[in-house]
Structure 1
């Protein structure tokens, strides 16, 4: 491998490992709520801006990557990251200065700059969300062009590192940006650091990730025809058969693709959208990914709610607050909350990453389409079963694995809705949600490409990701609305920060009523997953022997 290729690989890895910075939101989100004087609905609206920015611009970045290559995307991502995070950091500093001037005398809703800071933060996070998509597409585009003979590795590498972004950046934040006085996160400094780190990373990567697209070849009548990289068609000369001058679409239309029940003959957008299995998969993406990202964005607030319920005003005894944990948290929930929030982010990231890797590998090895060839058009037809696989003869459908993911999330949401009372059970909850979230995000695109083919996979998968955007925004705002309503009813609003890191009388609204702050949200998530399970069962019965 050439020295420049080594640098390109390093830039792809660095870009992917830092691109998912928005998933550190549970770490610094509560600090923004407190410092900017926001309620939880406004805080989760900020998260929603990042989600919409990421998902709604994905198609645009994909087209730009095809037309101009990854360099343009890296430069754009660097600018958006740098400006976005610096603006949010500045807004946080201004809010803290106002709080210092008034000596904490203004409640969150009375702060004169709260609304302006909120609007600025939402706009900045929308830009950061767009930067996440640009950075990720730049890395994947460069990787697939560099490792064009290993497309699976080319996609799996950046995806795996992207999943680890929040774990890596959270570790950095806890290690270098904890306030030694309060034990909480120094949010302005951490946000400013993120802007500088991601800006420099993407600007530097733009130099070495400008990988040119390879010249593609099509085999027609036993002859290799080279396609122009602009997609106009193959190079034709006097030795080319007159019958071999059809365009790319005509050639691809001859590729055999087995037709599954519910899959239309037509490859049009309308036919895809009207297919009943697409609606089932779309519902699963809306609920499964939406509720999963609700946890990703709100698990930090769950920690504060559970701890606050046991430490505020001596409401409960030490035994109710799990003994040692109560004693550690009693002086102020800042230090202990930061540590637990960071642990949940790491667990979610690790579970998400491992489930994507192992779920993808397992589905490729034991799925019915992996253990037998189904035609040259099948994405997985070239897979050769391993010796252990042939000996064991194990076959598990991708749809069966999806059902497992649904049941796992159902168990987690049942516990959150009816059983969770302390932070002791949060690790198991985070792992279950992370595994389910990762499996859904890995298996649904695999099902789509195996059933509807590769020709329009980008379009088909892109349409389904809009369900993710709607679900994530809906569930995150649902969580915030419920939490604010419970806090208002119970009189459990807390905000600001005192010298020991505990909530004080100033700052934003945080629900400290314990499980009541989030139980209704998980009941809704639970109902949604039941509907997704019912919708997917007919598809499972029809496709489980094929996929």
Structure 2
């Protein structure tokens, strides 16, 4: 027993099979995030197909819609059926999607007559949508497998590494294309076709969860014991804490074990309800100290209180269902959509990521506008290299932002003992400052690199904050599904902001015959509808003035996100403050809770 306790958990988790599984999941993740590489070939695709910037943004946002809209579906599928169906589907969709985009590129300009133009444009958008759906399938399968393979104390870091691989995907493919075929859009699309499909084959055959079996589990009787729900004859329903079990690695953890210990050691508190307390909770070896709450951290006590409050709305349902909790929240389904916490996460995340998507989808166009400023005969190969550089910078800083903001979130909670939502205030403030800089200060290609670095960093940071907030508010039991619903918001904001950017740039475009002398064409006649591309591609020679007005929209969005983040943090601060008053500074319960008992009550009346 002592030998098992002394064995370091971190070392026991780093076995060769698990390390190999982690490496395979990273490769799958790197093949899943190529939607962020759209700007590496978007300007050339628009030039070849004679698309307006609004049309090009619709194609780009179609991929983003595929990424975010499919997240709840893939989350439920991977929870039920495992990762293999997701990898198989991703292989087919990636191969079909990028092959279709490459075929459209080689087919040339979309004809102006309506039936064929509408079908060509719709098929192009559909192909990019398929790549987005496939990317979500790949990352969901790899992240879920990683979470089920590693124990609780290593789960956050390992899943963070996999998500970082997702952020590095655009950097990986754009760098390889730049080394072997610089400026060749067709070769880049071929690389995306083959390079993204192959990792899904690897995942299908080699990625699967490795069950985690902790060393310190006590006696076999304690390991296999699953105490049932119990209720007294009064109107108060008592619920127990589920004991950690390796067959449900996403639902257990060290905190859950501590919560169960407090039940097991509470003989005095159970005496008033002897008929409702299993004898298994009163075994002598589980009594650790006179105060059963002495081993409970403040985080665990706050977690218990939050779950008690959440269960107050669904007490009647819990009375008839077995508990699936390990002492934390378990909110899902319609109950999720009725909580204020969900709508705050939904709104803030949507406003911030929609802002980021507008820039990421158009950074290639922005760089081209800055290069073409007073220089209509710019070198196309040079412009392609600049686009690839900006995509690389965004991708690298996206990865770094996920790591840094994740560490900042843990530091805020565990070191400063403040809510994680404080980090959303920091992210919203950073987004606001970046948008102001992009609008006012970025006037050439050299300074654009700084703008790409800053936006990629805060964009990645906002993505790393949402998962931990979802777990804290709604629990682990339905995390994949809940997280998928929360990530639906960028569908709307990303679409609106990207369309606004495209419309702004189209209004500043000039016909080629007027580009040399700076004349202004008739905007009402020179801008066709979405399904009717122009006969000639227009160009803007005004530099940053071509698109600066679009950042006014995102600045306002970031201001709203900042206000909502402050409100969320204030709510969490008051919630935490009230919990500290209830439990007491020294960790004991106040008068509002019965001393010596950690049973949770839900009033059914």
Q: CA deviation at 1:458?
A: 3.3
Distance 1:2 1:445, change over 3 A: closer
Rg larger in structure:
2
Q: CA deviation at 1:225?
A: 8.0
1:360 counterpart (403, 406, 410): 406
For residues 420 and 262 of structure 1, the distance between their equivalents in structure 2, rounded to whole angstroms, comes to 48
Contact conserved, 1:399 with 1:544, CA < 8 A, in 2? no
Q: Aligned pair 1:513/2:542, yes or no?
A: yes
Which residue does 2:493 correspond to in 1? 471
Alignment of 1:340-419 (within 5 A): 340-367=386-413, 370-371=414-415, 397-419=419-441
Q: Aligned pair 1:524/2:571, yes or no?
A: no
Which residue does 2:291 correspond to in 1? none
Please list the CA deviations of residues 498-542 of structure 1 after superposition, one character each: whole Å capped at 9, or x if unmatched. xxxxxxx98644444322221121001001111121222222223
For residues 268 and 71 of structure 1, the distance between their equivalents in structure 2, rounded to whole angstroms, comes to 25
2:140 counterpart (121, 137, 141): 137
Please list the CA deviations of residues 125-160 of structure 1 after superposition, one character each: whole Å capped at 9, or x if unmatched. 111111101111121122223324532133112101
Which residue does 1:390 correspond to in 2? none
For residues 94 and 166 of structure 2, the distance between their equivalents in structure 1, rounded to whole angstroms, comes to 16
1:118 counterpart (116, 121, 124): 121
Q: CA deviation at 1:165?
A: 0.8
Contact conserved, 2:72 with 2:485, CA < 8 A, in 1? no
Which residue does 2:5 correspond to in 1? none
2:569 counterpart (529, 540, 544): 540
Distance 1:8 1:27, change over 3 A: same
1:165 counterpart (162, 166, 169): 169
TM-score, normalised relative to structure 1? 0.75
1:283 counterpart (343, 347, 359): 347
Q: CA deviation at 1:429?
A: 1.3
* Stretch of structure 1 that moved more, 536-545 or 191-200: 536-545
Counterpart of 1:398 in 2: which secondary structure?
Answer: coil
Contact conserved, 1:492 with 1:513, CA < 8 A, in 2? no
For residues 77 and 119 of structure 2, the distance between their equivalents in structure 1, rounded to whole angstroms, comes to 33
Q: Aligned pair 1:14/2:27, yes or no?
A: yes
Counterpart of 2:443 in 1: which secondary structure?
Answer: coil
Alignment of 1:197-346 (within 5 A): 197-211=195-209, 243=278, 257-259=304-306, 265-266=312-313, 267=331, 269-312=333-376, 332-346=378-392
Q: Which sections of structure 2, spanning at least 5 residues, go unmatched?
A: 1-13, 215-222, 228-240, 251-275, 281-300, 314-330, 517-533, 578-605
Q: CA deviation at 1:414?
A: 1.4
Contact conserved, 1:108 with 1:509, CA < 8 A, in 2? no
Distance 1:202 1:513, change over 3 A: same
For residues 514 and 57 of structure 2, the distance between their equivalents in structure 1, rounded to whole angstroms, comes to 19
For residues 545 and 111 of structure 2, the distance between their equivalents in structure 1, rounded to whole angstroms, comes to 22
Q: CA deviation at 1:425?
A: 1.9
Q: CA deviation at 1:56?
A: 1.2
Contact conserved, 2:75 with 2:140, CA < 8 A, in 1? yes
Which residue does 1:189 correspond to in 2? 187
Q: CA deviation at 1:259?
A: 3.1
Alignment of 1:470-489 (within 5 A): 470-487=492-509
Contact conserved, 1:35 with 1:507, CA < 8 A, in 2? no
Counterpart of 1:311 in 2: which secondary structure?
Answer: coil
Which residue does 2:219 correspond to in 1? none
2:467 counterpart (445, 455, 462): 445
Please list the CA deviations of residues 100-136 of structure 1 after superposition, one character each: whole Å capped at 9, or x if unmatched. xxxxxxx985899654432221111111111101111
Contact conserved, 2:399 with 2:460, CA < 8 A, in 1? yes
Q: CA deviation at 1:227?
A: 8.3
For residues 562 and 439 of structure 2, the distance between their equivalents in structure 1, rounded to whole angstroms, comes to 18
Counterpart of 1:259 in 2: which secondary structure?
Answer: helix
Distance 1:463 1:493, change over 3 A: farther
2:103 counterpart (80, 86, 90): 90
Q: Aligned pair 1:151/2:173, yes or no?
A: no
Distance 1:493 1:203, change over 3 A: farther
Which residue does 1:67 correspond to in 2? 80
For residues 93 and 310 of structure 1, the distance between their equivalents in structure 2, rounded to whole angstroms, comes to 30
Q: Which sections of structure 1, spanning at least 5 residues, go unmatched?
A: 100-106, 179-184, 232-240, 246-253, 313-330, 372-393, 495-504
Contact conserved, 1:259 with 1:265, CA < 8 A, in 2? no
TM-score, normalised relative to structure 2? 0.69
Counterpart of 1:309 in 2: which secondary structure?
Answer: coil
Which residue does 2:9 correspond to in 1? none
Contact conserved, 1:53 with 1:127, CA < 8 A, in 2? yes
Q: Aligned pair 1:42/2:71, yes or no?
A: no
Contact conserved, 1:35 with 1:508, CA < 8 A, in 2? no
Which residue does 1:23 correspond to in 2? 36
For residues 457 and 223 of structure 1, the distance between their equivalents in structure 2, rounded to whole angstroms, comes to 17
Contact conserved, 2:147 with 2:155, CA < 8 A, in 1? yes
Count of residue pairs the alignment pairs up: 464
For residues 483 and 131 of structure 1, the distance between their equivalents in structure 2, rounded to whole angstroms, comes to 30
For residues 523 and 301 of structure 1, the distance between their equivalents in structure 2, rounded to whole angstroms, comes to 18
Distance 1:458 1:209, change over 3 A: closer
Q: Aligned pair 1:427/2:449, yes or no?
A: yes
Distance 1:227 1:193, change over 3 A: closer
For residues 278 and 374 of structure 2, the distance between their equivalents in structure 1, rounded to whole angstroms, comes to 78
Q: CA deviation at 1:39?
A: 0.9
